[in-house]
Structure 1
């Protein structure tokens, strides 16, 4: 079993904590770089193409049984006599929880990429990995990505879907037209460890 870090935004951290996010999709750089028209699971934790004319590649997030530790935006809380006595997490922090808030001291948030292992509060176990085209996501898988109906919508409109909301979120994170590009993605299935 190996352990690797993985970054998540605040809304996705909240979805993990709520138990609604059990999948994540990340661009499969080897398949994209090779311009593959199809990807084959070699059944040994690696992927490639049927012709075997390119090196096989493996998922940088691990395979079933491996663990991921979540990196998220955080703030280090130092004590008067000791450094780093606690950690606040932006995804779930409520302003006013700390004395510094009441004194008007601005919290110094640190980007998720800089979170050290010891500050992580969420561990995930990889339960499955596959490669697919982004737009092959099903409605059930889009729901497993942790997306929700936009705030203020009393009931799902007839035209709303988890898949459509996931496409909107994907473009928000990856840029305009990134959904239409339909890249190869790693589909990493996880559960809280």
Structure 2
């Protein structure tokens, strides 16, 4: 078992806390990984000894501690994260974070130290697949739900012949595509590019990794 950090944006942190998110997908960018995929297939880089080709080197049984945007008050005021242990940690993803924003600059998630993390993910499965291979069930596990797209409303006829302007119902995979493009299209890894991704399934413990029990 190994412990590794993993970065999440504010909306994804909230989905983890709410219990709506139990999967995450990360783009495979290493050239050696793409060479291995072309030669040996998708299962090859999840084998022991090859997982350093994954975006997060993890396997079932490993634990991931979540890094998110944060601030430290109290004795942590004005100190580097490595020097601020003992201060109170505040999280930008929380809905009431604004009232303490005067404490100083919010620190990027990449700088969150292990002791400040509040979420631990116990990895149960790692798969490698093309982005567009995501199923509706997996999209729900990513925290997505059906939604109405108000930008593409259409005239729908009711059972009695009356007409109503309604937006068509989209599914979880449509919602995931919208979310994914908002985060990755500008980096060249949008839905249409259909990149190779690593899909991590996990359970969420709302505890610091050093307080959370190890996965069974």
TM-score (norm 1): 0.78
Deviations 1:58-79 (A, max 9, x none): 1333100000000000011124
Determine the structure 2 residue equivalent to 1:172. Answer: 182
What's the offset of the Cα at 1:107? 4.4
Is the helix fraction higher in 1 or 2?
2
Aligned length in residues: 177
1: CA distance, partners of 2:14 / 2:138 = 18
Q: Radius of gyration: which is bigger?
A: 2
1:157 to partner: Cα distance:
4.8
Match of 1:66 in 2: 62
Report the Cα offset of residue 95 of structure 1: 4.5
Task: State how far apart, in whole Å, the 2-side matches of 1:94 and 1:117 are.
Answer: 23
SS of residue matched to 2:193: coil
Q: Which sections of structure 2, spanning at least 5 residues, go unmatched?
A: 151-165, 206-216
The verdict on how the C-alpha distance between 1:161 and 1:14 changes in structure 2, with shifts beyond 3 A counting, is same
Mapped partners of 1:163, 1:170: distance in 2? 10
Q: Is 1:137 the counterpart of 2:142 in the alignment?
A: no
What CA distance in whole angstroms lies between the structure 1 residues aligned with 2:72 and 2:107?
A: 8
CA RMSD of aligned residues (A): 3.1
Distance 1:40 1:95, change over 3 A: closer
Taking the TM superposition and a 5 Å limit, the aligned residue runs for 1:31-46 are: 33-34=34-35, 36=38, 39-42=41-44, 45-46=46-47
- In the alignment, structure 1 segments of 5+ residues that lack a partner are 48-55
After superposing on structure 2, the runs of 4+ consecutive aligned residues of structure 1 that deviate more than 3 Å are 30-33, 79-84, 95-98, 148-153, 156-159
Partner of 2:38: helix, strand, or coil? coil
Say which SS state the counterpart of residue 129 (structure 2) adopts: strand
Q: What residue is the counterpart of 1:12 in the other structure? A: 12
Does the aligned pair in 2 maintain the 1:139–1:162 contact within 8 Å? Answer: yes
Which position in structure 2 is the counterpart of 1:147? 144
2:120 aligns with 123
For the residue of structure 1 that corresponds to 2:192, the secondary structure is: coil
Deviations 1:77-128 (A, max 9, x none): 1249995520000111404655xx6xxx364211101111111000010000
